[in-house]
Amino acid sequence: MLSAAPLCGFLNLLKPPGCSSAAAVGYVRRLLGGVKAGHAGTLDPEAAGVLPVMVGKAARLFDDLQDKEKAYVAEVAFGVATDTQDAQGRAIAVGDRYPDAQALAQALRAFEGEQWQTPPSYSAVKQDGKRLYQLARAGVEAQAQPRRVVAHELRLMRMTGDHGALLSVRCSKGFYVRTLCHDLGRALGCPAHLRFLLRTQSGPFTLETALPLEEVARRAREGRLRLIPPETALSRLPCVQAPAALAFAARTGQTMPWRAFAPLLPPEAAQGAPFFLRLDGELLGVAVRMGDGVRLRTWLGA
């Protein structure tokens, strides 16, 4: 178990295939004695890889994590399209005009950059308060609305057996790699689906430092499990010490004068960019400029 209290930080979890994101978070929650925990971005049950888990008050930083870039290694399989756009679905189209590496690499270029993408019917997107996959399983026809997403980089790594190809994908939040595979099939005239997915990065969390569930459990039993502090996980945010004269105002959530912080922060903070605020070695939370003042936007203190 962790000895520090209250808990506030992150775990970089290596989610195995066949386990839902909710189940992985539930496992962590039980290990930590029922403390509040949540994941920063769903990973499909059959997918594997990086799943950031927010523990305690760190869950309040969800929006700061969600906007960050994601990276995947994906295998697209040509010849069959499915209703879920992955290997777990029912076949809805077949074809044998399998593309070669040159054609696939060229097609990928058309999907780079900002674009409209329609999430799959079997997804966690909500419609009228229900998840689309819940509606689909109940036999209710539902169509997600197209959304703006960004594919920062799409690269063909190599062709694989059984008419497949391994892709490297760097993208924005909300981007469905399953849908990319499905749309690639349509663009190339050969139905396709996602065969395999590994998330290698989610914002500041990478595959190299992700912990398998078994390792998390072992460290918890041995009392060696340590959370990643918010300042480490979100190191892009500057961190400043509140002046001693403003200690009472900082601890009670009052507005503090911007002029006391301006010399300590980068220029973007003057435009409203968030920053961490500390006091006497304690992390109080995330603050932002509001007019001529500064207020804590997200409270993380004890």
- Which residues participate in catalysis according to the annotation? 44
Residue with tokens 């059959």: 46
Q: What is each CA distance from 204 to 5, 225, 272, in whole angstroms?
A: 24, 19, 22
Helix (H, G, I), strand (E, B) or coil at 18: coil
Closest CA to 65 of 232, 226, 207: 232
- Give the span between the Cα atoms of 227 and 12, in whole angstroms: 9
Name the β-bridge partners of 205. 202
CA 210 from chain centre, in angstroms, equals 14
- Give the span between the Cα atoms of 109 and 246, in whole angstroms: 53
Other beta carbons within 10 angstroms of residue 76's beta carbon come to 28
First to last CA, the chain: 19
Cβ-in-10-Å burial (0-12, 13-18, 19+) of 141 comes to: exposed
- Give the span between the Cα atoms of 235 and 204, in whole angstroms: 8
DSSP secondary structure code for residue 195 in this structure:
E
Residue with tokens 């992955």: 86
Q: What is each CA distance from 16 to 40, 41, 118, 198, in whole angstroms?
A: 16, 15, 27, 10
Query: What is the C-alpha radius of gyration for the chain, rounded to an integer number of angstroms?
Result: 22
